[in-house]
């Protein structure tokens, strides 16, 4: 049976964790801080649980330099649940802004206010999605499903990168090709938000930087929502440019059960009564997905997995300890260097390895490629050879096939070196 140090795991999620965190987690799972109780057994209402929440928030705030304008929520359901939460919460914000404007114009005439907002909803509401991979596609489809009772056309797919790449997600079109909803003062319609997935886990596509056209100075203050599930804490992020950032924990943050949501406080404060949403024909967010409710209850509206939150906090504190005052700049350098080493090895043998996405949008976290043009026998041989050397988790997503190397934070440099040696050895053998 192999020792943990002998296995190099490159799975896309659940992903590897730092061994140091796992060892501490094993102790905490049995007897947390000599209390005689497992951390999985303590009350989520206890002082200990509240301290864990506070400590994890503090670590994340330091790492990402989160401004006071934003709050941190811990939620359930992974990124997929946030596909729905984003739509329901942000449409509610859009409706409330319209309700307040109508109230200024119409006074307390509730029937007239409802009628006006209902009409504006049909005429003006849009949700902008940048579809650059499988997960942003799923998010846009969820939005369309949720808004279908209102009718068609509310979801504006401002970019679908498959249309410029023969049906594949392997690039991000130039920003001047995006068809974002025009600002209100130019065309009447208004976007409740612009959604993008910063790193597409399945397709290996990552935004190289924050889109310039979404900068608050150039986008007429349209709220920006980002799914950062699979590159969270791997590079610096300007949180202030986002209304919402969310990410499932099971890639770079911790274990399953926890979803982190960073949300601007004005979003939490701009919510209409559920009765008004229902009156204009919009669903109100289920309580468990309502960001204001979760925030008001310090993420403890219902029983949260405190053990999982503690694990996430340990991972964050480990990054702070490793990089100290450099914070995420240090981890960004490490992530970039590991990715470069892998891509360099693949690029040296283009006749054997064909990297899927365009060079300009290659993901640092999920490196996707085919072997000998996708030859089934060769890819099977590649995976079997890797398994024999305890290089695991390399099979591509079932929807696209191929090979995928997930280069998350807990994959250390030595294991990347082992992998690149295997890549080079397999390629040389294939060329004979």
**Burial of 47 by CB count in 10 Å (0-12 exposed, 13-18 middle, 19+ buried)?**
exposed
User: Residue 47 and residue 20: Cα distance in Å, rounded?
Assistant: 25
pLDDT of residue 167: 83
* pLDDT tens-place string over residues 299-347: 999 999 999 999 999 999 999 999 998 999 999 999 999 999 999 999 9
Listed by start position, the domains of the chain span: 58-308, 327-431
User: Residue 40 and residue 204: Cα distance in Å, rounded?
Assistant: 35
User: Residue 319 and residue 324: Cα distance in Å, rounded?
Assistant: 8
Q: In this structure, which long-range contacts are made by residues 333-341, counting pairs with CB atoms below 8 Å and at least 24 apart in sequence? A: 334/409, 334/413, 335/234, 335/235, 335/364, 335/365, 335/407, 335/409, 336/235, 336/364, 337/413, 338/364, 338/407, 338/411, 338/413, 338/416, 339/363, 339/364, 339/365, 339/367, 339/407, 341/416, 341/417, 341/420
- Confidence band (pLDDT; 50, 70, 90) for 218? low
Residue 66 scores a pLDDT above 70: yes
Average pLDDT score over residue span 132-150: 96
Residue with tokens 């899927």: 356
SS3 29: helix
Average pLDDT score over residue span 209-232: 87
**What tokens were used for 62?**
């330091």
* DSSP symbols for 269-300: H----HHHHHHTT-PPPPGGG-HHHHHHTTT-
Cross-strand bridge partners of residue 125: 190
Per the CB < 8 A criterion, the answer to whether 342 and 367 are in contact is yes
Choose which CATH entry (3.40.250.10, 3.40.50.1100, 3.60.21.10, 3.90.1150.10) describes domain 327-431. Answer: 3.90.1150.10
User: Residue 380 and residue 179: Cα distance in Å, rounded?
Assistant: 41
Instruction: Provide the 8-state DSSP code for 35.
Output: S
* pLDDT tens-place string over residues 249-290: 999 999 998 999 999 999 999 999 999 999 999 999 999 999
Cross-strand bridge partners of residue 200: 205
Average pLDDT score over residue span 400-407: 97
SS3 264: strand
> Rounded mean pLDDT of the chain?
95
CATH architecture of 58-308: 3-Layer(aba) Sandwich (3.40)
pLDDT of residue 238: 97
Give φ, ψ of 129 to 5 degrees. Answer: -125, 135
Q: How far is CA 324 from CA 57, 165, 262, 292, in A?
A: 17, 42, 22, 33
User: Residue 68 and residue 346: Cα distance in Å, rounded?
Assistant: 43
Average pLDDT score over residue span 31-46: 94
Question: What angle (nearest 5°) sits at the alpha carbon of residue 72, between those of residues 58 and 11?
Answer: 90
pLDDT of residue 108: 93
Fold match between domain 58-308 and domain 327-431: no
**What tokens were used for 108?**
């307390």
Provide the 10 A C-beta neighbour count for residue 309. 25
| SS3 letters across 227-257 | ECCCCCCCCCCCHHHCCEEEEECCCCCCCCC
pLDDT of residue 23: 96
* pLDDT tens-place string over residues 168-205: 999 999 999 999 997 654 445 789 999 999 999 999 99
Residue with tokens 């949403």: 277
- Confidence band (pLDDT; 50, 70, 90) for 216? confident
pLDDT of residue 183: 63
User: Residue 362 and residue 206: Cα distance in Å, rounded?
Assistant: 6
Per the CB < 8 A criterion, the answer to whether 366 and 201 are in contact is yes
Give φ, ψ of 314 to 5 degrees. Answer: -65, -40
Average pLDDT score over residue span 36-42: 95
* pLDDT tens-place string over residues 82-131: 999 999 999 999 999 999 999 999 999 999 999 999 999 999 999 999 99
Q: In this structure, which long-range contacts are made by residues 207-212, counting pairs with CB atoms below 8 Å and at least 24 apart in sequence? A: 207/132, 207/172, 207/361, 208/360, 208/361, 210/238, 210/241, 211/130, 211/175, 212/175
SS3 26: helix
pLDDT of residue 432: 59
User: Residue 59 and residue 66: Cα distance in Å, rounded?
Assistant: 10
* pLDDT tens-place string over residues 359-397: 999 999 999 999 999 999 999 999 999 999 999 999 999
pLDDT of residue 188: 59
Tell how strand 70-75 and strand 199-200 pair up.
Answer: unpaired
pTM of the predicted model, to two decimals?
0.96
């Amino acid at each position: 049976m192999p020792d943990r140090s002998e296995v190099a795991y490159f799975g896309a999620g659940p992903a590897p964790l730092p061994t140091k965190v796992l060892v501490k987690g094993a102790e905490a799972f049995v007897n947390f801080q000599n209390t005689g109780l497992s951390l999985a057994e303590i009350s989520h209402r206890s002082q200990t649980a509240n301290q864990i929440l506070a400590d994890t928030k503090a670590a994340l705030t330091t790492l990402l330099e989160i401004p006071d304008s934003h709050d941190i929520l811990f939620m359930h359901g992974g990124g997929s649940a946030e596909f729905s939460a984003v739509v329901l919460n942000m449409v509610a914000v859009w409706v409330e802004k319209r309700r307040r404007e109508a109230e200024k114009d119409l006074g307390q005439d509730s029937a007239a206010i409802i009628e006006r907002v209902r009409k504006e909803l049909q005429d003006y509401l849009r949700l902008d999605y940048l579809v650059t991979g499988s997960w942003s596609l799923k998010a846009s489809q969820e939005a369309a499903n949720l808004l279908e009772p209102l009718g068609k056309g509310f979801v504006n797919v401002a970019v679908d990168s498959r249309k410029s790449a023969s049906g594949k997600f392997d690039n991000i079109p130039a920003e001047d090709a995006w068809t974002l909803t025009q600002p209100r003062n130019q065309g009447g319609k208004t976007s409740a938000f612009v959604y993008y997935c910063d790193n597409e886990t399945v397709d290996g596509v990552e935004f190289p930087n924050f889109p310039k056209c979404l900068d608050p100075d150039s986008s007429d203050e349209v709220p920006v929502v980002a799914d950062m599930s699979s590159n969270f804490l791997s590079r610096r992020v300007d949180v202030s440019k986002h209304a919402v950032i969310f990410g499932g924990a099971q890639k770079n943050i911790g274990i399953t059960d926890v979803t982190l949501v960073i949300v601007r406080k004005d979003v939490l404060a701009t919510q209409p009564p559920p009765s008004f949403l229902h009156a204009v024909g919009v669903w109100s967010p289920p309580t468990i997905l309502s960001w204001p409710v979760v925030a008001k209850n310090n993420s403890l509206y219902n029983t949260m997995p405190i053990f999982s939150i503690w694990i996430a906090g340990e991972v964050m504190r480990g990054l702070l300890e490793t990089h100290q005052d450099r914070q995420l700049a240090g981890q960004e350098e490490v992530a970039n260097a590991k990715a470069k080493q892998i891509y360099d090895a693949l690029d040296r043998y283009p006749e054997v390895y064909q990297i899927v996405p365009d060079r300009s949008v290659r993901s640092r976290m999920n490196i996707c490629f085919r072997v000998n043009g996708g030859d089934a026998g060769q890819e099977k041989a590649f995976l079997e050879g890797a398994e024999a050397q305890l290089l695991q988790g390399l099979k591509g997503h079932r929807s696209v096939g191929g090979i995928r190397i997930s280069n998350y934070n807990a994959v250390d440099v030595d294991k990347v070196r082992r992998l690149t040696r295997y890549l080079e050895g397999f390629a040389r053998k294939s060329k004979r």
